[in-house]
Amino acid sequence: MTTAAGSSEFYLAQFSAAENHLPGHDAPWATAWRRNALDRFRELGFPGHRDEDWKYTSVKALEKQPFDSVLEPSSHLALTDIERLIPAGVECIRIVFVNGHFSRVLSDTAAMPAGAEVSSLATKLRDEPAAVESLLENSPTVFRNGFGALNAAFMTDGIFIRLAPRTVLKQPIWLLFISGDQDRAITSQCRNVIVADTDSQATIVEHYSTTGGKATFTNSVTSITVNDNARVTHIKLQQENTTGFHFSEIDVTQNRDSFYHSHSVALGAALARTDIRVTLQAEGAECRLDGLYMGDGRQHVDHHTRIDHLKPHGKSTEYYKGVLNGNARAVFNGKVVVHERAQKTDSSQTNRNLLLSRNSEIDTKPELEIYADDVKCAHGATIGQLDDDAIFYLRSRGVDEALARNLLTFAFVDDVIRRIEIAPLRKQLEQTILNRLPAGTSLRGLVYNDA
């Protein structure tokens, strides 16, 4: 039997050479944690089509080629390279990772208020490993599937954020993860740990981009704890180019009366998968999950979300939209579980899809499991084409067919973009989307609703 060049064996073989370069290697608990993760990865391997959760997403293409871990930081990027990635006009706390390593030169943390502790996880593991031990060991995602386990074994860096009680961040923290190498295919494996303590409030952007060159494999895990009455807005931007393989797990734990608002905008990569899991483990917690995915060519984009309501008076609202063209394929799986004690839960879930071509495909599966008897839950999914009546109406006003289609497609998408509160980001995403529509530039001056 032949094995693919980038199969799980490749990573298993790489580990012993990598181990001593990975952060935390001199802390026994960290070494044990990584080895344990590696063992799990050995058992699990990469998910196959037999895994129910991966039925519509094949990772075979990822396994065809080996991706090297970059063990030492070496930034080849200049400030100007990254400045164009963050929309003009955004004032933020900028934290940049290049090929899985924090870059001090490219980061700007001047606006960080007292009360916010932000540091590279690698630094933390080197300097005070005990401080992150419990956070990593209790991290719920570690061994859920092969990707999570692989990340724990090979994780090179990531962000550690802790907001002290009542800390309010006026500027968003913009985490920029850039990957790419001219000479070899590389993997970036970051792990982020974010804790928002009581009454704190922050917006965190998790932004993935690639520089071009050889193929890239991003495998990230982010865990977020939103404590009592805290509010976290989390914007994930996936704008890798189409040589990218992107896998991302986001695990959120919410405490009493907390609010978590997620936006997942997936525009890039050849193959992308984002898993978001939110656990409302105390009373009165609310989460809102908004998402937009767009695919063209042969892109494949997958979102799996799961919301667990464990306690009463929780609320969840999910709103995902997708637009597919060419031979693109998307998967949406949204599961909401209302546990026995979660009375008075209010949950709604919507997934709407627009197929612009005959060969595009969406597999959508909203799932609702309810074990409590006094709840309000609704879910629904739609798949459709552009509305012929609307096209005719626009054409009857003199708008040509191509422009009418673009206007309607843009309107469909913008409905999600407009939920993002950072105005310059909204504008930049709108521009990006215009550029992706066929002759979308003809819409300039016709679609901005922002005064």
Partner 1 sequence: MLSIKDLHVSVAGKPIVNGIDLEVKAGEVHAIMGPNGSGKSTLAHVLAGRSGYEVTRGTVTYMGKDLLALSPDERAHEGVFLAFQYPVEIPGVNNIYMLKAGLNAIRRHHGEEELDAVDFLSLVREKMKIVNMDESLMNRSVNEGFSGGEKKRNEIFQMAVLEPRLAVLDETDSGLDIDALKSVAGGVNKLRNKDRAIILVTHYQRLLDYIVPDKVHVLAHGRIQRTGDKSLALELEKHGYGWIGSKAGAA
Select the residue interacting with partner 1 from 410, 426, 428, 440 (CB under 8 A): 410
Nearer Cβ to partner 1 (76/395): 395
Q: Which residues contact 110 (CB under 8 A, 6 or more apart)?
A: 93
450 near partner 1 (CB under 8 A): no
CB 398, min distance to partner 1, A: 4
Candidate residues 28, 393, 421, 439; the one interacting with partner 1 per rule CB under 8 A: 393
Binding region for partner 1 (CB under 8 A) out of 157-165, 338-346, 406-414, 431-439: 406-414
By CB under 8 A, residue 439 contacts partner 1: no
399 binds partner 1 (CB under 8 A): yes
Q: Which of 5, 13, 168, 411 binds partner 1 (CB under 8 A)?
A: 411
Question: Interface with partner 1 includes 407 (CB under 8 A)?
Answer: yes
The count of chain residues that interact with partner 1, using the rule CB under 8 A, is 27
**According to the 3-state scheme, what is the secondary structure of the chain?**
CCCCCCCHHHHHHHHHHHHCCCCCCCCHHHHHHHHHHHHHHHHHCCCCCCCHHHCCCCCHHHHCCCCEECCCCCCCCCHHHHHCCCCCCCCCEEEEEECCEEEEEEEECCCCCCCEEEEEHHHHHHHCCHHHHHHHHCCCCCCCCHHHHHHHHHCCECEEEEECCCCECCCCEEEEEEECCCCCCEEECEEEEEEECCCCEEEEEEEEEECCCCCEEEEEEEEEEECCCCEEEEEEEEECCCCEEEEEEEEEEECCCCEEEEEEEECCCCEEEEEEEEEECCCCCEEEEEEEEEECCCCEEEEEEEEEECCCCCEEEEEEEEEECCCCEEEEEEEEEECCCCCCCEEEEEEEEEECCCCCEEEEEEEEEECCCCCEEEEEEEEECCCHHHHHHHHHCCCCHHHHHHHHHHHHHHHHHCCCCCHHHHHHHHHHHHHHCCCHHHHCCCCCCCC
Our finding on whether 435 is near partner 1 (CB under 8 A) is no
Stretch in the footprint of partner 1 (CB under 8 A) among 196-204, 279-287, 387-395, 426-434: 387-395
Q: How far is the CB of 440 from partner 1 (least distance, A)?
A: 13
Q: Which is nearer to partner 1, 161 or 386 (CB)?
A: 386
Q: Is 371 in the site for partner 1 (CB under 8 A)?
A: no
Interaction of residue 412 with partner 1, rule CB under 8 A: yes
Q: Is 32 an interacting residue with respect to partner 1 (CB under 8 A)?
A: no
Amino acid at residue number 293: Y
Q: In the complex, what is the shortest distance from the CB of residue 159 to partner 1, in angstroms, rounded to a whole number? A: 35
Is 400 near partner 1 (CB under 8 A)?
yes
Indicate whether 17 belongs to the interface with partner 1 (CB under 8 A). Answer: no
- The residue among 337 and 399 lying less far from partner 1, judged by its C-beta, is 399
- The reply on whether position 389 binds partner 1 by CB under 8 A is yes
Per CB under 8 A, the segment of 16-24, 97-105, 226-234, 410-418 that binds partner 1 is 410-418
Work out whether 449 is an interface residue with partner 1 (CB under 8 A). Answer: yes
Residue 369 interacting with partner 1 (CB under 8 A):
no
Q: Which of 17, 26, 49, 392: binder of partner 1 (CB under 8 A)?
A: 392
What residue ranges bind partner 1 (CB under 8 A)?
387-390, 392-401, 403-404, 407-408, 410-412, 414-415, 445-447, 449
